[in-house]
Amino acid sequence: SRQTVRTMAESARELMRRGTRLIAQSGIDSSSAALDSRRLLEHFCKITKTDMVLNPSVTPKPETDAQYIRACQRRADGEPLQYIIGSWEFMGLEFEVNPSVLIPRADTETLVNYILNKHAVCEKTKLRILDICCGSGCIGIALKHFMPQSDIVLADISDSALNVAQKNARLHKADVTVVKADLLLGYENCFQDGEFDIIVSNPPYIKSTDMDFLQREVLHEPRIALDGGEDGMKFYRALALLWEGALKPHGEMILEAGYDTARVIYSLFAECGYSEITTRRDLGGIVRLVAAKRGSGYENNN
């Protein structure tokens, strides 16, 4: 009867349909809305797709349904899914995230894979690697996870980001060093000459003028992690010019590039006398990585 229907708790299926509608109404396309609402249901109600298939009338625990709907509302208001659930996967590992760090992107796995492909096999080589602008720490911690013999230093200018990186290091039992450093000031205050085999970084690289036109979700991410100055090149210039000395003689700098900046970064390294400049594409075919080895020094004598 009508009475029983009304007093019966809403099933997870019905709840999820309601959540999906809420998210889709905000203009998010319906397939993403369904994926996001499912992910939120898993997180807040601990009910998976499998649970719902095996038991079509499975019902969320009291309170969790309201938490779930509130989460869907936040998503509908444009908050990234990753901040709502507080974590995201990178290189198959789960990283804690909050609005003080950039959300790990699959594109950035290009950097980690480049290093692993080159070095993971030689288990005896003990590399010292600096991940500068580390944010959540996902690059450096993933490297430590897959190359436990390496020495990893995570550095960032943001205290709140360093807190997240530290938490993630603990979460993954990664024995890494976490250091506060301002990339624009150069390495001398924090690091030794010739200290690193590798400097890896995903620095801020969005042009300041593009900052106001970012996707609604990206506007929730820290500006300090995105804004690369007038031409988006500010941090690359500082890295190329001020951080070469922190590399060992054959040390390599490995940087993430924006969708249209690889060419400019390549020229910058060439101009600064680096050698063996290399690029790699991400899975979407975009040149996402530029790597260059410390120059021999001859260039400076011409």
Binding site for ligand GLN (CB under 6 A): 102, 105, 202-206, 218, 226
Find the shortest distance in angstroms from Cβ 64 to ligand GLN: 32
Question: Minimum Å distance from CB 258 to ligand GLN?
Answer: 7
Nearer CB in complex with ligand GLN: 89/175? 89
Calculate helix-pair angle for 30-45, 12-24, nearest 10 degrees. Answer: 130
Residue 12 vs 103, nearer CB to ligand GLN:
103
Q: How far is the CB of 263 from ligand GLN (least distance, A)?
A: 17
**CA–CA dist 40, 82 (Å, integer):** 10
Which of residues 153 and 226 has its CB atom nearest to ligand GLN in the complex?
A: 226
Closer to ligand GLN by Cβ: residue 44 or 236: 236
Bridge partner list, 180: 156
Pick the closer one to ligand GLN by CB: 137 or 204. Answer: 204
Residue nearest to ligand GLN (CB): 205
Q: Report the alpha-carbon distance of residue 146 to residue 139 in Å, rounded.
A: 11
Edge to edge, what strands does the sheet with 128-132 contain? 177-180, 151-156, 128-132, 196-201, 247-256, 287-293, 275-281
Strands (DSSP E) found in 175-271: 177-180, 196-201, 247-256
**Least distance CB 183 / ligand GLN (angstroms):** 12
Beta strand 287-293 with 275-281 is antiparallel
Q: Give the nearest distance from C-beta 42 to ligand GLN in angstroms.
A: 25
